[in-house]
Structure 1
Amino acid sequence: MPEELARAFYDELAEDYHRIYPDWDASTARQAKALDGVISGELGPGPRAILDCACGIGTQAIGLAALGHNVVGTDVSPVATARAAREAAARNLRLPAAAADMRTLPFGSDAFDVVVCADNSLPHLLTPHDLRAALGGMHRVLKPGGLLLLTTRPYDEVRETRPRSTPPQVADTPAGRSITFQLWDWHDDAERYDLEHFQLVPQAGSWIVRQRRTTYWALTQDQITSFASGAGFRAAKWHTPQDTGFFQPVLTARTPS
């Protein structure tokens, strides 16, 4: 099942997720500043009640909490959300976090001003049924006039070339350098791909290799916009990294007022 695959992937990655970034704390601050700019541009000055429904270890949620927003984090991985709560507490920030599937969000209606689903999380859902369930739930928990903020890889470009790997990323840590890269195996439909995620982590003067697997649906912007509109969102608009300062394209959409 897709949810079991994604949960296993992030359970295994949670301990090492920060190694994806050269400086994870700097990345949390930079990404939150970019997302906060989008939120304030859409809704005006905050703070806002925000649900990060794919919070992972807190990369976006912690930064948004540091900016004064009231953030709740959920993620399919209980290991990741446990780390997110620990990382927030270590920074004297409040971040309630719990494991939850984005297709069945455990909140009442009209609970949040903003729902964030960032860092290519939605494409873990592999069927139209799953996408409709997730986006419908996000719509339900938003207040009237609330904001959906969703980011993915630039799949319109990616699907033209269908790359088979990503460049290595090097992170410096107190224990030494670590290296992260991915291998991609595209399905026959040319839309979905299996990902092998590799990390080389220094240990006792040598390297250990950590490998995880998951699957993504390389959704184009038109596909995502269509699913969002079908879930009841309005005024859907894509923003480029050049416009927002965020490293991925950002979709904003609103619930009816």
Structure 2
Amino acid sequence: MPFIEKQQFGEDPLKVRDTDHYVKEYASTLVEKWDQLISWDRRAESEGNFFVEKLKENGAKYVLDAATGTGFHSVQLIEAGFEVTSADGSPEMLAKAFENGKQRGHVLRTICADWRWLNRDVHGEYDAVICLGNSFTHLFNERDRRKTLAEYYAALKHDGVLIIDQRNYDAILDQDGYSSKHTFYYCGDQVAAEPDHVDEGLARFVYKFPDKSQYHLNMFPLRKNYLRQLMQEVGFQQIDTYSDFQETHKVDDQPDFFIHVAHKEYKD
């Protein structure tokens, strides 16, 4: 697949509600700026050992990072002692992840794979699959979401665990507004990430960088309980949901993100 230099949304960007389009959204110019948006050092500080601890609690050693992006979590987990396979549907992102890993003394095992046919390209069974960075919201129809969750389920060992996160779209949809502390995910200085348009079928975000450049991503606004229900219907037995890396949060203090830890193993 050739590298994409410029984002293209056509004449009416609000009509772009197609799962396959996300690959075109991660143009090489945006990928080069992506690390400015997330800020590796500040994100590592805000997350702490949350994912490392959850994986260790579940006895994980072999981890599939299904939404590698520019490699942040793959590198973090490798340095924590996990065996990591790094997959992504965007060749631009994977190339940047490999470069970032190399700069930190690691050779990432990268695979370009579409989640909906994950096990066609990614072989073996894993103790854990992680899909982080609000990536699951690139799936625009329920069939794709169910198929992807089924692929994750199949890639896991009998007692494996899926960790998947999402933006708090409930607050955006229900409160008719948007606020973000930018404490946990998009930590870059002087980089803005905010919705340009939101309805029940589309959350179009604009990302503004210090050099005045702007990029957009079209995503599906997943509701928390809807995603939990999908995971249960696919077969996950127990799902623990955290709010900004906490098990609970104040009612009047809406979290920016939810993190779901879904267990394949039945627990009494």
Shorter-chain TM-score bucket reads 0.7 to 0.9
SS of 2:47's equivalent? helix
Distance 2:191 2:265 in 1: 45
Match of 2:235 among 212, 232, 256: 232
Match of 1:14 among 10, 15, 31: 31
Residue 141 of structure 2 aligns with an amino acid whose one-letter code is T
- 2:127–2:156 CA contact under 8 A, matched in 1: yes
The alignment's TM-score, normalised by the length of structure 1, stands at 0.82
SS of 1:233's equivalent? coil
Change (3 A) 1:137 1:32: farther
1:143-196 CA deviation, whole Å, 9 max, x = no partner?
111000011112222221243686897845xxxxx5333332123xx3422223
- 1:164–1:185 CA contact under 8 A, matched in 2: no
- 1:159–1:191 CA contact under 8 A, matched in 2: no
Matched, 1:54 2:67: yes
User: What residue is the counterpart of 2:89 in the other structure?
Assistant: 76
Matched, 1:195 2:205: yes
- 1:150–1:251 CA contact under 8 A, matched in 2: yes
- 2:71–2:100 CA contact under 8 A, matched in 1: yes
Q: CA RMSD in A?
A: 2.7
Match of 1:212 among 190, 215, 226: 215
Match of 1:180 among 176, 192, 196: 192
1:111, distance to aligned residue in structure 2 (A): 1.3
Change (3 A) 1:28 1:74: farther
- 1:3–1:76 CA contact under 8 A, matched in 2: no
In structure 2, list runs of 5 or more residues that go unmatched: 1-16, 249-254
- 2:193–2:205 CA contact under 8 A, matched in 1: no
User: What residue is the counterpart of 1:111 in the other structure?
Assistant: 125
Distance 1:78 1:145 in 2: 31
User: What residue is the counterpart of 1:254 in the other structure?
Assistant: 263
Residue 170 of structure 2 aligns with an amino acid whose one-letter code is D
Change (3 A) 1:170 1:121: closer
- 2:245–2:259 CA contact under 8 A, matched in 1: no
Residue 227 of structure 1 aligns with an amino acid whose one-letter code is L
User: What residue is the counterpart of 2:21 in the other structure?
Assistant: 5
The alignment's TM-score, normalised by the length of structure 2, stands at 0.79
In structure 1, list runs of 5 or more residues that go unmatched: 173-177, 202-208
SS of 2:117's equivalent? coil
SS of 2:43's equivalent? helix
- 1:32–1:63 CA contact under 8 A, matched in 2: no
Residue 91 of structure 1 aligns with an amino acid whose one-letter code is R
User: What residue is the counterpart of 1:175 in the other structure?
Assistant: none
1:251, distance to aligned residue in structure 2 (A): 0.5
